[in-house]
Chain A
């Protein structure tokens, strides 16, 4: 039989998407639908003295207005991961205090969006200003007012995360070279294509149905039930197609509560959709902040000690701050081997937009620092940076950040392959015209590793139900969400492969919490890895039932049977076979018993690896950095769907280029007002900005735990590209940047400081013309 694993089958979701028939939460049109809008704070920190909604309520077409006085006052988790310490209970649906510019203070439901918007302007809010703490330094200053009454105090979201191994003092004492630097982190946003949207409806029995664009429908169900005081049978969450989430849509947002309450208050269905601006104001960002990193090296390149202090800016609420801080801090134990580490991670409340989960969860930040510093150390040691990284790369048996042993030699394989593919040695040795050329080129590389699944930080499990129908086709029930990655296609491939039926004969049912098995949500690079393994296990159960029945019919032992392409065959007896449909057909009019398999998979821990090799060109007159080409090498275990995996990699690189060069959501340092809450001034790279990407996927370190040896790939591609670019910039112009994004203005300033401004009229040719 042709294996369907490793084949880029046609994704079942694409036809609906390209023809426009795919249903997204915002497409749900119900009779009597009302439109909800949120009134957002125009100050960064204030107590609400009074809200007057009387004029809004008097506007014809307005059906309800909610303020903090009208909603349940229940403290809830913004990012509700059960069985996890990675969350903080610090949010109310609407509070009497606003903690960032853009926080919702009231909500309106009206007959049209226009009326709802007009009503927002008629609501007056009397703010009693409080001091706005807009930076981590402000929030940590002695005597700074507390933004929250909960938490450990001192505006910390959680107690500092401390990770210690070995003896750092001894490690530094043994070092021939100590390199130290502080890395400052920008504030990119996920900018998913589909703005947050939901539709809520209550039935006569008091059951809430919510269609919402979320990565974690069961978390939405659980939190809404908790806050609204309902059993789980009274909340049904539906999500069919999604236009991305990149981690941020793991949170519950204010509109999901408010939409439910407006629908309850009015007795009519209500739709609430963020404008693009609201996805900035009320969305989630990556954690900005700073990382002070210090490492000791022996002359031969061995790392003797590593010390780091991470300080993340959580913004106004905790959201994923605890999880991101824990993951980032632990990540610095690894990637490059070091026996002596002392790492401290802090996460600090400020009166700025909320930081949340975002693809690369803390590791984008930590490995930007670590990998950049490795380059710096290589330079000072007189070693090639790739050689230094290769000699220190974590490998089989080393402890991963999760505490589990690493399986295989994925990182070393990625580095070696990239060195060959790029002709690295020759490129790095090529002469540079650092002092004269106007456009200067350079090569850099960066590495990363990332866990498939959030285990053990979150006690996760993947679940699946596989049911065979009377005609031999198969229906897979999964609680995982389809963010747009193609994961459901991969799950169908895994199910088909395990059962021995054709891929086309497997249908996927998902997105209805009343029907599908519980799932923690689509995040942490775990859907294909974790839910995929559960699908494989459930499919194996169904296969065993089919074979038992076929064994009776064929009068052979079940152990001698196998299923291929939907046909039961007998080993060693080529002539004897039975289609699956015949095997399960009714016998003397009596149908087969239910052919259902269901299983849960609790992950072992898997890590995927990558090395990104990048060529950049720097225009030394304008300071602009062009990424000329990228060669990403990823080791992700067995690849289920090569095109989808490559798509993840290319998309991650595009996002990573943006983070490193242009993307930064900024707030006014004086009053916390967002300065670029729109795509006019928040610039992501587009098609025209993308360099050629030569993606290489290795399968050299498959994981026993994953389906057919598969590991995760979702988050990995956004991590290594950043330091690779920064390192390439250093190779091109000899300037080391310890922050992102690196703007043209900063490039020019750095060149001027270095006294390396170009000679007017100098040759306008790059150093290296090959591509």
Chain B
């Protein structure tokens, strides 16, 4: 493994100071499940690794109807996966975290790490964005909050500036009669990167959908909102014809690439299929 300097700060401020001092040469490490593999395979060569696992204020998983869900930077994916409250209140998040790697990986990996890694195909990003998640950020200039929908700027790139750390993410409480879903399309059932991922959150108002959010993963440089499809559904019943239209609209908005996993054309077609299925699944859950 490529050599690097290693730090274990014990406070957020110390971590920020280290990060600010070493700038682009430094990598923050929480679970390390992506970072260490990338260092071993020489895909990244950070001069400095800052392990934040010793920072006490970064843990904490809180989930209830009144306050929503708050996930500290060090909370493991497995902790979220095994939380009964998360499964009940945020089924799409629960579905997505189960898709990450293996149980061994999920015991180490953190959800906030998955967010900050900003992979276009990350499973948790579409449902988190659809749920209206906000990132709590601390940095040399103080604290700020950024909705995840505005957090990603490209593959592996975010709005974080030098010295900034995401200390937690927060999801608002689910609305009454809300439903959410995440559907992943891959080549096998586990240990897989999404070829396409679609998350939907919506609210049932009688026979029609409200507050529809449709987020597409792995079909653009960042997760993207399928806004045209959302508008088609807003205030409408999700009948088969409407689902078909929404699927086509989402398909048109996707910008997938060709690679060894799938062709762009296939990915686009799957956006349509998965969007229809994800809307139907989310709607099912509102009843």
Contact = CB atoms under 8 A, between A and B. Distances in A.
Interface of A: 114, 117, 277, 621-623, 662, 666, 675-676, 679-681, 683, 685-689, 744-745, 748, 760-761
Nearest to B190: A688
**Interface core residue of A622, A676, A680 (most chain B CB under 10 Å):** A622
Interface in B223-252: 240, 243-244
Given A666-B260, A681-B260, A686 B189 contact: yes
B185 interface: yes
Contacts of A622: 185, 270, 273
Contacts of B192: 683
Interface stretch (B82-90, B104-112, B132-140, B261-269): B261-269
B105 to A, nearest CB: 13
B1 interface: yes
Contact of B269 (A114, A687, A748, A760): A748
A760 B189 contact: no
Contacts of A761: 240, 243-244
A364 to B, nearest CB: 20
B2 A114 contact: yes
B263 A680 contact: no
Nearest to B265: A745
Interface string B252-263: 000000001111
A671 to B, nearest CB: 15
A43 B133 CA distance: 47
Nearest to A682: B260
B3 A745 contact: no
A35 to B, nearest CB: 13
A675 B258 CA distance: 12
B75 interface: no
26 contacts: A114-B1, A277-B41, A621-B273, A622-B185, A623-B266, A662-B188, A666-B260, A675-B260, A679-B191, A681-B261, A683-B187, A683-B188, A683-B192, A685-B188, A686-B188, A686-B190, A688-B190, A689-B190, A744-B266, A745-B266, A748-B266, A748-B269, A760-B243, A760-B244, A761-B240, A761-B243
**Interface core residue of A117, A621, A623 (most chain B CB under 10 Å):** A621
A686 B240 contact: no
| Chain B: interface size category | 20 to 34
Given A676-B260, A761-B243, 7 more contacts: A621-B273, A683-B192, A686-B189, A689-B188, A689-B189, A748-B269, A761-B244
Contacts of B189: 686, 688-689
Given A745-B262, A761-B240, A686 B191 contact: yes
**What 7 pairs across the A-B complex have the smallest Cβ distances?**
A761-B240, A688-B189, A688-B190, A745-B266, A621-B273, A683-B187, A675-B260
B94 interface: no
Given A114-B1, A621-B273, A760 B260 contact: no
B281 to A, nearest CB: 11
B240 A745 contact: no
A32 to B, nearest CB: 22
B193 A680 contact: yes
**Interface core residue of B2, B187, B189, B269 (most chain A CB under 10 Å):** B187
Nearest to A621: B273
A54 B190 CA distance: 46
A676 B189 CA distance: 19
B3 A760 contact: no
Nearest to B273: A621
Contacts of A683: 187-188, 192
A558 to B, nearest CB: 60
A623 B190 CA distance: 18
A621 B266 CA distance: 11
Contacts, number: 47
A330 B273 CA distance: 46
A120 to B, nearest CB: 11
Contacts of B261: 681
A676 to B, nearest CB: 5
A679 B193 CA distance: 11
Nearest to B262: A745
A622 B1 CA distance: 40
Interface string B1-14: 11100000000000
Contacts of B260: 666, 675-676, 681
A681 B193 CA distance: 9
B269 A688 contact: no
Contacts of A685: 188
Contacts of A689: 188-190
A761 to B, nearest CB: 3
Interface in B176-204: 185, 187-193
Nearest to A675: B260
Interface in B269-284: 269-270, 273, 276
B139 to A, nearest CB: 32
Contacts of A675: 260
A679 B42 CA distance: 17
Contacts of A623: 266
Interface in B141-191: 185, 187-191
Contacts of A277: 41
A679 B260 CA distance: 12
A761 B276 CA distance: 10
Contacts of A744: 266
Contacts of A745: 262-263, 266
Contacts of A666: 260
B134 to A, nearest CB: 31
Contact of A114 (B3, B41, B188): B3
Contacts of B263: 745
Nearest to B3: A114
Given A114-B3, A745-B263, A688 B188 contact: yes
Nearest to A118: B2
A676 B240 CA distance: 39
A710 B105 CA distance: 43
Given A114-B2, A681-B260, A748-B266, A760 B187 contact: no
Nearest to B193: A680
A685 B187 CA distance: 9
Nearest to B187: A683
Nearest to B185: A622
Contacts of A681: 260-261
Contacts of B41: 277
A114 B39 CA distance: 12
A620 to B, nearest CB: 10
Nearest to B272: A621
Nearest to A752: B269
Interface string B39-76: 00110000000000000000000000000000000000
Nearest to A676: B260
Nearest to A684: B188
A744 to B, nearest CB: 7
B229 to A, nearest CB: 15
A686 B276 CA distance: 28
A685 B191 CA distance: 10
B155 to A, nearest CB: 15
A745 B261 CA distance: 11
Contacts of B2: 114
Nearest to A683: B187
Contacts of B243: 760-761
Contacts of B240: 760-761
A666 B2 CA distance: 29
Interface string B100-128: 00000000000000000000000000000
A670 B3 CA distance: 36
Contacts of B188: 662, 683, 685-686, 688-689
A753 to B, nearest CB: 14
A687 B191 CA distance: 10
**Interface core residue of B188, B189, B269 (most chain A CB under 10 Å):** B188
A686 B190 CA distance: 7
Contacts of A621: 273
**Interface core residue of A666, A676, A761 (most chain B CB under 10 Å):** A761
Nearest to B40: A275
